[in-house]
Amino acid sequence: MKTLDDHALALLFTEARSHNGWSDRKVERDTLLRLHDLVRMGPTSANCSPARFVFVESADAKAKLEPALSSGNRQKTMSAPITVIAAYDTAFYEKLPELFPHADAKAWFTSSPALAEETAMRNATLQAGYLILAARALGLDAGPMSGFDKAAVDASFFAGTTWKSNFLINLGHGDPSKLFGRLPRLEFEDACLIA
Ligand SMILES: Cc1cc2nc3c(=O)[nH]c(=O)nc-3n(C[C@H](O)[C@H](O)[C@H](O)COP(=O)(O)O)c2cc1C
């Protein structure tokens, strides 16, 4: 059985951190393509792949994002080389004939808006989690944030589309001096049951 070694586990989990400060080092375009190549392989229900990602990099796009940021997230986001708007397509089911061709999966969702919304949110959030881990695997650092005005981001970036924002993820090479202290995690007995 092949498993990851301790170095890889540290990079992905045990020593990886949520970053608040960034070096000036750019994130190459090729790295973003590799990142998406990894993210898209993570599992989603019926292969529905509802996540959509906007890589906010230019000064103009950052300026569009700025008014939507909570005050505590403003400085770190404006200084990050890239901020990902992790979003989802509420009409994700339009791609199911291509993504899940052996069944009429589109009909499951067009017949139930509530199921469509729940499915989009669940799977897009999973995919954004895959993105955090994929970024770490490629040597980047990530800083996820939900402290922003979703309606404002949707109006600025997604007006007239079926896309909606979920959360933001700063990407780049983190500045370890800006990390907050590591917080405790739950023990197995507090978070898990074996049934
Ligand atoms: C979905 C999500 C939203 C978050 N929102 C914010 C935020 O708005 N501002 C912030 O400073 N940190 C935010 N965080 C960072 C968390 O506080 C951080 O991941 C957690 O404390 C664990 O830190 P560590 O990964 O360094 O151990 C968020 C994390 C996640 C996953």
Residue whose Cα lies nearest atom 14 of ligand 1: it is 145
pLDDT, tens digit, 9 for 90 and up, residues 4-25? 999 999 999 999 999 999 999 9
Question: What is residue 108's predicted lDDT score, i.e. its pLDDT?
Answer: 96
Measured between alpha carbons, how far is residue 10 from residues 16, 58, 74, 84, 141 in Å?
6, 32, 29, 23, 13
Residue 167 lies in a domain: yes
Residue 3 lies in a domain: no
Atom of ligand 1 nearest to the CA of 182: 27
Question: What is residue 40's predicted lDDT score, i.e. its pLDDT?
Answer: 98
Residues 6+ away with beta carbon under 8 Å from 101: none
Residue 189 lies in a domain: no
* Grouped pLDDT means (10 residues each) for the chain, 195 residues: 97 98 97 98 98 98 98 98 98 98 97 97 99 98 98 98 98 98 98 98
Q: What does the alpha-carbon distance between residue 128 and residue 87 come to, in Å, rounded to a whole number?
A: 8
Count of domains observed in the chain: 1
Tell me how far the alpha carbon of residue 147 lies from the centroid of ligand 1, in angstroms: 9
Atom of ligand 1 nearest to the CA of 20: 11
Residue whose Cα lies nearest atom 30 of ligand 1: it is 144
Tell me how far the alpha carbon of residue 5 lies from the centroid of ligand 1, in angstroms: 26
- Domain extent, residue 79, equals 24-175
Confirm or reject: Cβ of 127 under 6 Å from ligand 1.
no
Question: What is residue 33's predicted lDDT score, i.e. its pLDDT?
Answer: 98
Residue 12 lies in a domain: no
Question: What is residue 141's predicted lDDT score, i.e. its pLDDT?
Answer: 98
Atom of ligand 1 nearest to the CA of 132: 31
Q: Which domain CATH number covers 88?
A: 3.40.109.10
Question: What is residue 27's predicted lDDT score, i.e. its pLDDT?
Answer: 98
